[in-house]
Chain A
């Protein structure tokens, strides 16, 4: 374990760290507030890494560790794709690829009251076959088990099930809710973040120039694609899945290659 006595912060930023590395030494820094993001913990005067990944810094004072994994750790204000697994008295149980099921309150829809619980009647084909039940829930809440939803995380505390919502902070629907038709596939959390970064990810830009499709990216490692023809959906899905370890230029070459084959 490296333990530099007087380490300037710049030495570790943007380099790979493993759990146990002391990345910042507070005693050598002038008195300032720094904000620690995910993956870092404070041990009196030393800040050490808890996750393996790249240390990132953003002005003026934010440090965090970026890494990509298959499992999602819920975080407040993330937008994710969830699959309805069950419904209880006043919550739907949603699978979000995290350590615990998410709870979606029955009233967390735009204009939701006890009298107009939304009825979702379209069964969405999803690639998550292990929880695709074909039964239809009878009763007030006809949100089909297996429906794919675009959701926002409202509360995510350690040890509690995360609370989700189908509205934005002001109560409007704003694109949240069930996703009809299309195809959903799973990716790592790092790829989801890259797809959502701005400026637009090269693979999406290259695909968007030649094809027209609709896409929803969940930060929990799920991506949903919809287009007019199944061929387009398959090309887009394959291009995205291939692009994880490629650089920008390589992604554009890969997309050109794929599109040439189908034309």
Chain B
């Protein structure tokens, strides 16, 4: 891999499609066989893998914070619940898969997406509290404000939560967590962590 060269912005010409292959952050326009950048970042050229037939190096645009992981429909995210309301809960997405995000993304968990059974009898306050860490799956890009998240599977739900006494609680069933200091049981939608 060569050293990174200059900073490019979306729309800048990176080369001809006959010489280069379009990688991450670049695309080939079919009408004039030119490669353009689609993101902001540094233009990098990668040597072609020796086994392939195509001898063209790959050009990609990387290195900007917009290149941090972005939640996609179907990806599993870790989020912190910020607000619990009557029919929805808001959460700040912190990690997508194993990587942490570099910008702020907001997600919403709706009442019907909290669990798979008896979805109209869900009490949001008995499933999440503000400050809980949850594992959820992204359902869709949602609206302009937030992604739609779902915890409707056994392995999704609250992963870590603090009790009202301030201690990290221990899960005891899929609906209950217990505080080790006071012994009080609080209700949450708990994720089944499989080791």
Contact = CB atoms under 8 A, between A and B. Distances in A.
A-B pairs, top 3 by smallest CB distance, nearest first, are: A157-B125, A42-B182, A159-B130
B86 A44 contact: no
Interface string A67-108: 000000000000000000000000000000000000100000
Contacts of A231: none
Nearest to A161: B85
Interface of A: 41-44, 103, 155, 157, 159-161, 163
A136 B83 CA distance: 32
Interface in B92-108: none
Interface string B105-124: 00000000000000000001
Given A157-B125, A159-B129, A159-B130, A44 B84 contact: no
B125 A44 contact: no
B181 interface: yes
Contacts of B182: 42, 44
A25 to B, nearest CB: 15
A157 B186 CA distance: 13
B84 A159 contact: yes
B7 interface: no
Interface string B164-195: 01000000000000000110100000000000
Contacts of B181: 42-44
B182 to A, nearest CB: 5
Given A42-B184, A43-B181, 10 more contacts: A41-B165, A42-B182, A43-B165, A103-B86, A157-B84, A157-B125, A159-B129, A159-B130, A160-B84, A160-B85
Contacts of A159: 83-84, 129-130
Contact of B86 (A41, A42, A43, A163): A163
A42 B180 CA distance: 12
A117 to B, nearest CB: 19
Contacts of B83: 159
Interface in B40-86: 83-86
Contacts of A41: 165
Contacts of A163: 86
Given A44-B181, A160-B84, A160-B86, A155 B165 contact: no
A155 B123 CA distance: 11
Contact of B165 (A42, A103, A160): A42
Question: How many residues of B sit at the interface, in one of the four size bands?
Answer: 10 to 19
A253 to B, nearest CB: 46
B33 to A, nearest CB: 53
A242 to B, nearest CB: 39
A32 to B, nearest CB: 15
A96 B124 CA distance: 23
A11 B193 CA distance: 48
B125 A155 contact: yes
Nearest to B179: A42
Nearest to A157: B125
A44 B124 CA distance: 29
B63 to A, nearest CB: 40
A88 to B, nearest CB: 12
A162 B165 CA distance: 22
A63 to B, nearest CB: 15
A44 B184 CA distance: 11
Contacts of B129: 159
26 contacts: A41-B165, A42-B165, A42-B181, A42-B182, A42-B184, A43-B165, A43-B181, A44-B181, A44-B182, A103-B86, A155-B86, A155-B125, A157-B84, A157-B125, A159-B83, A159-B84, A159-B129, A159-B130, A160-B84, A160-B85, A160-B86, A160-B124, A160-B125, A161-B85, A161-B86, A163-B86
Contacts of A44: 181-182
A159 B130 CA distance: 7
Nearest to A105: B86
Nearest to B87: A90
Nearest to B124: A160
Nearest to B181: A44
